Amino acid sequence: MKPNVLLVLCLSFLGWLTVGQASAALNVIEVRKNLTDLPSRKLPEAEQLATQQLLEQTLAFLETVERNEQAQQQLQQQLLDAPKQISEAQQALQKLLSMPQDDPAKRLAQASVSELESLLSERNQQLRALQKDLGEANSLIVTAQTRPERAQAEISNNQNRIQEINALLKNAKEGSKVFSSEKTDTLTAELLSLESKNNLRRAELAGNSVLQELGSNRRDLLLTKVGLQEQEILALQSLLNEKRQADSEKTVAELSLEVSKAGSDSLLLRESGLNLKLSDYLLTITERRNQLTQRNLLVRQQLDTVLQGSLLLAKILYQQKQSLPQLSFDRTLADQIADTRLYQFELRQLRDTVSRPEEYVQNALKDAPPGDEQIALRSSLLDLVRSRAELLDRLNRDNP
């Protein structure tokens, strides 16, 4: 066991012993009972109110003592576990760094768009969990780095108040009036609260280097995990973009062929042309979505890089703000958003018209003469309308 861990355990034991001996005559259960029984004492109203306030203050101080003792026990356990956790973090980091780099693009080359979307969503959830853990590790380091100054100031202030309380208890008077037993208990409980807080702060100071080492090793491991996860997400997103692009280009090619097959029939040309127009728009928004997604990932990585170095954020926030990367914004984005919303409205109307393909075709052919040509035309139109419905579904998914 490391010497500073052993020192913390000794300080914890001595602290609990001191506070425990002093609080033998005071406990939360007894004070709560006194509060409950207060009305039965039939005190004058003003005296009852003053006594009630003193009992409530005493109870609050004693509850603080309990919380401080629980925190000290948790600290003791954390310090006992720390050496093992430090070693495990170091071993995990070495193992991670020695592993060969995997290429998701090769491994998932045959995956479908829906499979890649599902996998990408899963990886993003994992990344958020890692970033949360990284934030906690950074917080542990920041707390350890700023603890000495804060703890010493708090201990000093508490010691001044402890001296004041000891003087009050020694005198046991307020002017010419002797302290009531409730007043004495309140002061004693406050004294216990301050002493338990000082014991906790001294134990934290004694184990501070261990806590900082634990936070640093956790951070190193998590930074590596986050970096690898972001690389995989970037590779997955690139692969997904490529597949979406290929699917959209394939759709455009297929519908261009349909237009060429329509011949001179004006109805087929009109319906095929509308499908081709929609497929062109699908290709456009696929390209735009891919570009925005890539830019979003790059910006997020830039911000992560800056913020990961901001351990003493409270002291250097201004400097970090100045060093943030200068991001360029697309000034046409507002117009693009407005155009997209208008087009979405038009697409919804168009989806409504093809939601019942048979009815749509019947209405389109109402003026066509009956016969074999109409039957063939009906079949071709139904295929076009069903293709349009699929196109509109894809547009709805890719242009939310």
| Average pLDDT score over the chain | 79
Indicate the residue among 172, 206, 224 that finishes a domain: 224
Q: Are residues 204 and 284 in the same domain?
A: no
Q: What is the mean pLDDT of residues 278-290?
A: 71
Q: Are residues 112 and 21 in the same domain?
A: yes
Counting every residue, how long is the chain?
400
**pLDDT value, residue 84:** 96
Euclidean distance between CA atoms 302 and 300, whole angstroms: 5
Least reliable range by pLDDT among 3-17, 142-156, 165-179: 3-17
Does residue 239 belong to any structural domain of this protein?
no
Q: What percent of the chain has pLDDT over 90?
A: 31
**pLDDT value, residue 301:** 62
Q: Are residues 219 and 269 in the same domain?
A: no
Q: Are residues 273 and 358 in the same domain?
A: yes
Q: pLDDT category, 187, cuts 50, 70, 90?
A: very high
Q: Are residues 269 and 213 in the same domain?
A: no
Residue-range definition of the domain harbouring residue 350: 262-325+337-398
Q: Are residues 23 and 102 in the same domain?
A: yes
Q: Are residues 220 and 274 in the same domain?
A: no
Q: pLDDT category, 281, cuts 50, 70, 90?
A: confident
- Number of domains present in the structure of the chain: 2
Which amino acid type is present at position 199? N
What is this structure's pTM? 0.64
CB of 288 closer than 8 Å to CB of 339: no
CB of 22 closer than 8 Å to CB of 188: yes
**pLDDT value, residue 314:** 44
Q: Are residues 28 and 177 in the same domain?
A: yes
With a cut of 50, say whether residue 184 has pLDDT above it.
yes
If one counts every other C-beta atom within 10 angstroms of the C-beta of residue 178, the result is: 11
**pLDDT value, residue 103:** 84
Q: What is the mean pLDDT of residues 212-230?
A: 93
With a cut of 50, say whether residue 315 has pLDDT above it.
no
Work out the angle at residue 117's Cα, subtended by the Cα atoms of residues 111 and 119, and round it to the nearest 5 degrees: 75
Does residue 233 belong to any structural domain of this protein?
no
Does residue 229 belong to any structural domain of this protein?
no
Q: Are residues 192 and 313 in the same domain?
A: no
- Phi/psi at 178 (5° precision): -70, 140
Does residue 167 belong to any structural domain of this protein?
yes
With a cut of 60, say whether residue 233 has pLDDT above it.
yes
Tens of pLDDT, residue by residue over 318-347, are 444 445 555 455 566 666 666 666 666 766
3-class DSSP string for 151-177: HHHHHHHHHHHHHHHHHHHHHCEECCE
Q: Are residues 18 and 167 in the same domain?
A: yes
